[in-house]
A and B are shown apart, each in its own frame.
Chain A
Amino acid sequence: MTPQRAGADADPARGRALLELAGVTKRFGDLVANDDVSLSVGAGEVVAMLGENGAGKSTLMKIAYGLVRPDAGELRVDGRPVQLGSPRDAMRAGIGMVTQEFSLVETMTVSENVALSAVGLGRVDAAANRRRVMAAMERLGVQIEPERLVATLSIGERQRVEIVKALFHDCRVLILDEPTAVLTPQDVRSLFETIARLRTDGLGVLFVSHKLREVAEISDRVVVLRRGRMVGDRPTASVDEAELAALMMGGAASAAAAPAGPSQSRAGAVADPVGGAVGLGVETRPTAGPAEARPEPVLRLTDLGVSTGRRALLSGISLTVGAGEIVGIAGISGNGQTELVDVLAGVRPASSGTVHVAGRDLTRADVATRLAAGLGRLTEDRRGSLVPQMSVEHNLVLEDLPRFTSRGLLDRGAVRRHAEQLIERFDIRARPGDPVATLSGGNMQKVLLARSLVREPRVLVVAQPTRGLDVGSYAYVHEQLAALRDRGAGVLVVSEDLDELRGLCDRVAVLFRGRIVGELPIAEASSERLGLMMTGVEVAT
């Protein structure tokens, strides 16, 4: 079937469909992840798949790669139906995939990883293997020493190894699942160059993303998935971002945002997650001007540092958060955000500097002392802060057990009433006795939010508060944070989503390589400027 490849070279845009999905449906228990989805990718074509978190993109990709079996529907390669029982079948059919969490074995070398799917059971000719890996890298313009352990590679390098791996078994359709989520702008640039190269070679590329701007730049065609259904399929040239945003959110966005407070703008909620400049916080921010005297800091970090062995993960962090203020921490993932949040949460010790909450030194305090001093935490790892098999009501009192104990026994009535109150107040869709594991991501986040807010913290440390949430929960979380600020608490928000920070914060500080490289009042924090600071190009003072 090589003639078709030749045709594709002649006119890539009109290449025949290499990969088609027809009427694919997948259910997980009661949840419908994909509902009758059809999609095709042609030779020499870059198709972008857009959709919010939870829209069903990842499931669809896994179906296309044989990792998940569809309940109904058909997959076709070169027009012939195929059954993909495993990734091996997918590879044989010419499909390659770079998954969201990279699937490399960290304790093996680059060339071992690349060869993994291609070697037999017997002896591996290491030298020949190395030559083949080098050749594949050359084809992509990648330069990585094949004998390096994957554990020593940067995120961008790992992704390149993944692509080399996919091409190593002659794939003709490459699926990239959210490839830019973890990359620096420079790495994104080089990824796009690679994609362009692949397109010229006649490969079909399916590029999954929820970032509109990237999609506009790289794709020939764009398809939009919402709540498991395909809601749009357009040539990229013929649509603008607003139309795509509307497709992604649909009418559901404003409806879902309805439970949020009265002061909030629905237009803002719709535009916010897709990159609109208007954020929710704008409406709820107090009218107090910058001229007013700086409020007393409720959180003060002085020269804070964290290091493992000789490596400094955080150093010289000095920052204050005032009462009635939301301060954001921007930065590309892996620049010290996790460490900063862990130190504040009390699950990792600081190696230098101090942490003060409302004037009290908490640098070496344990979690209970921190909570008692009025420090609240809401971290990005929801599963790491909740006990999944335990009930909602017990999770809600996990940090307050002594308060619910009388004469040595848990006061079950009080625990139940507490849970019922919070479920009502925070609109958690669950019963007190349900195991947390059965809740959706948004409801888990509400449980955590309820647990930290019910203590009325003086300062709340928040990391990626809306990652993976649907639009309704997104708006709700922002509204609650703004309300907390309006009640006079300080909030520190760590996020990789610039639009979220710009919509929510009064000030934004930028972390780069474990240091704060600058701090801007929100009015001066344009995406461009923050972007430059996040990559260490500009250092503001």
Chain B
Amino acid sequence: MKFVLRGREPRWVAPTAVLVAVAVTVALTALPIRLAGANPVAAFERYLLTPLSSVNGLHEVLLTATPLMFTGIAVAIAFRAGYWNIGAEGQFLLGAVGTTWVGTTWADLPAPVALPLGFVAGAVGGAVWALAPAWLKRRAGIDEVVTTLLLNPVALLVVQGLLNGPWRNSATGFTDSDRLGSGFDLPPLIPDSRVHWGFAVALAVILVAGVVLTRTATGVRVRAAGQAPQAAAFSGIDVDRVQFRAALVSGGVAGLGGASTVMGVQHQLTSGISNSYGYTGVIVATLGGLGAIGVLLVSLLLGDISVGAQNVSLVLQVPTQLGAIFSALLMLAVLSAMSWRRYRVQWRRPRPATTPEPAQETG
């Protein structure tokens, strides 16, 4: 048996690869579930199905998916342009900071002004945090992977510094900020649920990003710059500028995620406001194939698992980190399975092996 390059890929290959990857992921995560003393089958039912089986659960899935939609599409935009923004975590946090600043400074603003302002402030916060790496990349050719990564712990320190210092809650003295003005509360999107208008904004952002990436000249330029920068430059596309702008847009969109979470869920800044949403965004974008629909579907899937993980942790005492294990494993498994797509298995016995003659010593 050996692996041979395929000439052309049949249609069934990609979906099969994904199914195989899912099966492998499920099999591998069954082990820690067992170790935690739970029945894997019952646990998986709770991870995947229980959240979808009730209206309330479905609402929670949409709510949990919302920040992932923002960070996922943010990372996808940057990756499409060939800019490796791994700093969505920090950009998300700074978005939250921006929104909290306007929301506590002008707490009396009425909702029609406050909500757009809150989102704008979030986008600006995220874009500002993305600016330094993007600028260093464009002006000095400094690898953005490192700088965006390094700014993530710094962003968390910024949040903690604000909460320990100037923004410490004036009423309780806890290290949370004051509550935002009530005009900044995103109204529920679905009555009597926690799903807020941030979900609609996330959908809109994904829709716009999808249209721009696939249906416009800008999208063609972005993809050309990302896939073949040299060829793009040859055709008159300013690759550095495309990447710089994509980096800022990416940061801004991640910042919108922060804004949405502050205004829709927490209504104040807390140091745990980003539950690794930025890093998970990389998983979402990658699993979603850097496309709009993919990002949406993967966000919902991971939202589902995340809600399930809360449930399992309460009921079966399996720590919630299993959700994170699952999503990281799933990404690695899917990528691995997809890399085998290019090959087909050839069932044939190899010729009997013979060992090469040892080289002669002298000539």
Contacts and interface: CB of A to CB of B under 8 A. Distances in A.
Do A and B touch, yes or no (CB under 8 Å, in the complex)? yes
Contacts of A347: 233-234
B357 interface: yes
Given A387-B224, A388-B227, 16 more contacts: A5-B363, A29-B5, A77-B357, A83-B355, A83-B356, A170-B362, A172-B363, A367-B233, A383-B231, A385-B234, A387-B231, A389-B228, A390-B220, A402-B217, A405-B217, A409-B216
Contacts of B354: 80-83
B223 interface: yes
Interface residues of B: mostly helix, strand, loop or mixed? loop
A412 B220 contact: no
B357 A78 contact: yes
A410 B7 contact: no
Interface residues of A, number: 55
B215 A390 contact: no
B234 A405 contact: no
Interface in A57-84: 74, 77-78, 80-84
A238 B272 CA distance: 84
A147 B268 CA distance: 65
Contacts of B6: 29
A215 interface: no
A410 B354 CA distance: 59
Nearest to A78: B357
A347 to B, nearest CB: 6
List the 9 closest pairs (A to B, CB-CB), nearest first: A367-B236, A29-B7, A401-B217, A30-B7, A387-B228, A82-B356, A398-B235, A368-B236, A384-B230
Interface string A77-101: 1101111100001011110000000
B8 interface: yes
B192 interface: no
Contacts of A201: 363
Given A366-B236, A367-B234, A387-B227, A394 B220 contact: yes
B27 interface: no
Contacts of B358: 92
B1 interface: no
A503 to B, nearest CB: 27
A410 B215 contact: yes
B8 A30 contact: yes
Contacts of B227: 387-390
Interface string B199-223: 0000000000001000111011101
Contacts of A401: 217, 220-221
A533 interface: no
18 contacts: A29-B6, A29-B7, A81-B354, A84-B356, A91-B359, A170-B363, A346-B236, A384-B230, A384-B231, A388-B228, A398-B237, A399-B236, A401-B217, A404-B217, A405-B216, A408-B216, A410-B217, A412-B215
Nearest to A89: B356
B340 to A, nearest CB: 15
Interface string A384-418: 11111110001001110110110011101000000
A362 to B, nearest CB: 13
Nearest to A387: B228
A1 B356 CA distance: 15
B232 interface: yes
A409 B220 CA distance: 11
Interface in A323-342: none
Contacts of B230: 381, 384
Which interface residue of A170, A347, A366, A398 has the most chain B CB atoms within 10 A? A398
A368 B355 CA distance: 60
Contacts of B234: 345, 347, 367, 377, 379, 384-385
Contacts of B211: 409
A410 B361 contact: no
Given A28-B5, A367-B236, A92 B231 contact: no
A377 to B, nearest CB: 8
A93 B359 contact: yes
A83 B231 contact: no
B353 interface: yes
B54 interface: no
A56 interface: no
B360 interface: yes
B223 A390 contact: yes
A30 B351 CA distance: 23
A104 to B, nearest CB: 22
A83 B233 CA distance: 45
A327 B351 CA distance: 56
A308 interface: no
Contacts of A74: 351
Nearest to A389: B227
A161 interface: no
A169 interface: yes
A367 B359 contact: no
A514 interface: no
Given A30-B8, A170-B363, A345-B234, A410 B228 contact: no
Contacts of A346: 236
B357 A82 contact: yes
A383 B229 CA distance: 11
Nearest to B6: A29
B359 A409 contact: no
A116 to B, nearest CB: 17
A541 interface: no
Interface in B43-96: none
B132 to A, nearest CB: 27
Contact of A94 (B219, B231, B355, B359): B359
A311 to B, nearest CB: 21
A438 to B, nearest CB: 8
Given A29-B7, A410-B217, A385 B357 contact: no
B361 A170 contact: yes
A393 B6 CA distance: 24
Nearest to B353: A83
A202 interface: yes
Contacts of A5: 363
B266 to A, nearest CB: 36
Interface in A365-386: 366-368, 370-371, 377, 379, 381, 383-386
B311 to A, nearest CB: 41
Interface string A456-474: 0000000000000000000
A83 B351 CA distance: 9
A154 interface: no
A38 B169 CA distance: 84
B357 A80 contact: yes
Contacts of A366: 236, 238
A263 interface: no
A2 interface: yes
Nearest to A385: B234
A170 B359 CA distance: 8
Given A170-B360, A394-B220, A386 B231 contact: yes
Interface in B325-363: 351, 353-363
B360 A409 contact: no
A405 to B, nearest CB: 5
B356 A398 contact: no
Contacts of B233: 347, 367
Contact of A367 (B219, B235, B356, B362): B235
Contact of A398 (B215, B219, B220, B363): B220
Contacts of B221: 401
A82 B359 CA distance: 12
Contacts of A398: 220, 224, 231-232, 235, 237
B214 to A, nearest CB: 9
B86 to A, nearest CB: 22
Contact of B356 (A92, A170, A172, A371): A92
Nearest to A386: B231
B232 to A, nearest CB: 7
Nearest to A377: B234
Given A29-B7, A390-B223, A405-B216, A77 B356 contact: yes
A385 B235 contact: yes
